[in-house]
Amino acid sequence: MNLEKVRLVVSDMDGTLLNTQGEVSSLFFEQFQILKKHNIQFVAASGRQYNSIVDKLSAIKDEIYVIAENGGLIKKGDDLLQINALAPEKIKKVIPLLRDIKDTHIVLCGQNRAFIESQNPDFINLFQEYYHSYQIVDDLIDIVNDEDFLKIAVYHFNSSEKHIYPAVKSLKDEMLIKISGKNWLDISENKANKGNALREVQKKLNITKEETLVFGDYHNDLEMLQEASFSFAMGNAHQDVKNIANYSTESNNNNGVEKVLQALILKRTTLLPNADQ
């Protein structure tokens, strides 16, 4: 690996930069400061809500690019760079289908807050880890025209791939259907994926695919992994991600991201021995 070329580092959050306790390591924040001194930009790219992402990365939130809601939203600090809203008529079409799936919980994701119908305390407790700003409503369809919605996130306590995907896969030509985790499935506009969002950031920064390093672990990371020559699958990644990534690293619980970043930092400090480390 010729890591000396890298000018942009992009990381998924859950299952990647975050450990299973939902924590970012202190080592990463130390590494970020060194990367910054070497003019290497950082992007956090997640299916999470924007507010949830920047809560995890609050110490550096104004210095990084954030791709939220699987590419539905791109921000740098307070600057909104792009938004890809899901058409209201598509939302109205899919919600009744989702309601028919037993033990499924629907999240309608707006730009600043999420909306749910579920009153299930177990789901709400879990949901709050990913969506810090939310409101419970009687009927999601009633609010579809009230604001722009970036995606529909759907949760099943057993398996999103087994229980949710079969019910909505017929819509994959109309909408982007992504299994984003063991329990989560996301529905958005076809162009609203992490890969398209990453291309926008690369274009803005004048950074190429050959200068980009990406970490991911699940299906919603596939497109952005294809936008980087240095694409890394986590040790805990889905097999489909491992099949498409050019490289692999250790699991999220074993500092897989940080170990690659340490190699990148070592390469840069070797090339520039007088640089402030």
The pair of three-digit structure tokens given for residue 164, joined into one six-digit string: 């949710």
Q: What angle do CA 99, 101, 104 make, to 5 degrees?
A: 80
pLDDT in tens, 131-141: 888 999 999 99
What's the confidence (pLDDT) of residue 271? 54
* Burial state string for 37-66 with b = 16 or more CB within 10 A and e = fewer than 16: ebebbbbbbbbbbbebbbebbeebbeebbb
Pick the more confident residue, 2 or 1.
2
pLDDT in tens, 234-267: 999 999 999 999 999 999 999 999 999 999 999 8
What's the confidence (pLDDT) of residue 71? 94
pLDDT in tens, 86-124: 999 999 999 999 999 999 999 999 988 999 999 999 999
What's the confidence (pLDDT) of residue 274? 37
- Cα atoms in the 13 Å half-sphere on the side-chain side of 243: 5
CA distance 144 to 47: 20
Cβ neighbours around 81 below 10 Å, total: 15
Where does residue 252 rank: exposed (0-12), middle (13-18), buried (19+ CB within 10 A)? buried
Q: What is the mean pLDDT of the chain?
A: 93
What average pLDDT does this structure show over 9-20? Answer: 97
What's the whole-model pTM score?
Answer: 0.86
